[in-house]
A and B are shown apart, each in its own frame.
Chain A
Amino acid sequence: EDQVTQSPEALRLQEGESSSLNCSYTVSGLRGLFWYRQDPGKGPEFLFTLYSAGEEKEKERLKATLTKKESFLHITAPKPEDSATYLCAVWGGSEKLVFGKGTKLTVNP
């Protein structure tokens, strides 16, 4: 069974304080790992898809990396508008997107 574990559950940062979110996974035959950002009451907003170990992708202050067991979402010099819940999901042998429980990020000014 495909499984995704995200840590920490919640993270508070000061504006400009860089950090990383973790997504550990077990999957039979990873076909893709997805990162989404979700604001309260809104649908998940697509950020990145990573397909193979060693792959990295960047978008503004965010950088996602992938190994054979986990993915990291690095946030450099975050701003208050980066506050949101970040969801990680994998597509593997179950032929459907399996989500982690998310990390709620709060960036204080």
Chain B
Amino acid sequence: QVQLQESGPGLVKPSETLSLTCTVSGYSISSGYYWGWIRQPPGKGLEWIGSIYHSGSTYYNPSLKSRVTISVDTSKNQFSLKLSSVTAADTAVYYCARDSDPIVPAALFDPWGQGTLVTVSS
């Protein structure tokens, strides 16, 4: 079964770049589907950040697009998130997820990783 695991620093300083990696097991990223990042500020709702295909094709949320880069490393079966110029408003649990819709890109998120809390603070 597909499993995803986020990894990366739990604390990032304001104005720096947040970097997270999602390691996928039980499924080859190269086999298909989009792979995405979603975040959830403490006590708040969910925000889609962006998604990537194994070819490198991406979709980004326009609200974050100027600061976000999502990349994929098929050799390691991983995909990554970089968010630059972070502020306290970027403090959130960051989830990675697989898109489960084989037709509509970056549509449905299932399964998800367990999530990782990233705090932006000096």
The reply to whether chain A is a binding partner of chain B is no
B residues apposed to A, CB below 8 Å: none
